[in-house]
Amino acid sequence: MRLIIDGPRSPQANMAIDEAILEAGPDTLRIYTWSPSGLSLGRATPASAVNLGGAERLGVTPVRRPTGGAALYHDELGEVTYSIVISNGDLLSLSVEESAARIAEAVALAARILGAADARVGGFQGPGGEALCYLNPGASDVVVLGRKVSGSAQLRRRGRILQQGTLLLRFDPLKWSRLIPTRTPPGELGRYVAGLSDLLGRPLSVEEAVEALVRGFEESLGLSLEPGTLTPREASIASRLAREKYSSREWLHAVP
């Protein structure tokens, strides 16, 4: 499988590249960061669920993802994101929930490699029903000491899977709550969500997290990852999508 270590890129470019790989690329694991920080909406999340004015004041760029789930803040210094496009018949034979959880095992292994010995997939006891994605239990949650450090969402198209997911390194509940209003009081968000650096009690660099994710995907999914880059066709499609779709007000405010 092709491996692309990418970023930092703008929120629009990140979403466009993931969709371009799904559309025209080989099976790929892409690991990336964001600059500027992003506020992403799942494909069925209404824009009214987040504070777009607050995002503008904070220099955070909103974007709608091609995958599902609720809203997320992607801090340019506090998160590493992955996307995987895969045509594996075994995974495609599973339900969305089952395959998402199977892929998320790679993230749980990465967290264990980094020192979170009890990292596991599933079992998150969040409040649910919130606009903030990390508060909602899902099959592919990665949980450390009862708190979620990773979530993911999936899209299937023409016999292929695109799964986008996060590994949270740091969590600032006050900033998150300013961008994504919740019924759960800001002072209680830390009961459910945490950055891996915060839980380990030591700073984690993006480079450490990327290396652990690569190992986690190789070992958990049995992949042989070969470093590569976007093809000219993928780059052309991504450029068009970033401009015409992911930068458009119509897409941001659309709820398919």
Catalytic residue among 133, 161, 180, 194: 133
Give the closest residue to 159 by CA, choosing from 93, 97, 217: 93
N-term to C-term CA, the chain: 31
| Angle subtended at Cα 85 by Cα 106 and Cα 28, rounded to the nearest 5 degrees | 80
Is 244 an annotated catalytic residue?
no
Q: Are 75 and 172 in contact (CB under 8 A)?
A: yes
Q: Are 39 and 15 in contact (CB under 8 A)?
A: no
At 213, the amino acid letter reads L
| Spatial distance between the Cα atoms of 157 and 140, rounded to a whole number of angstroms | 19
Question: Kind and range of the H or E element at 131?
Answer: none
Catalytic positions: 133
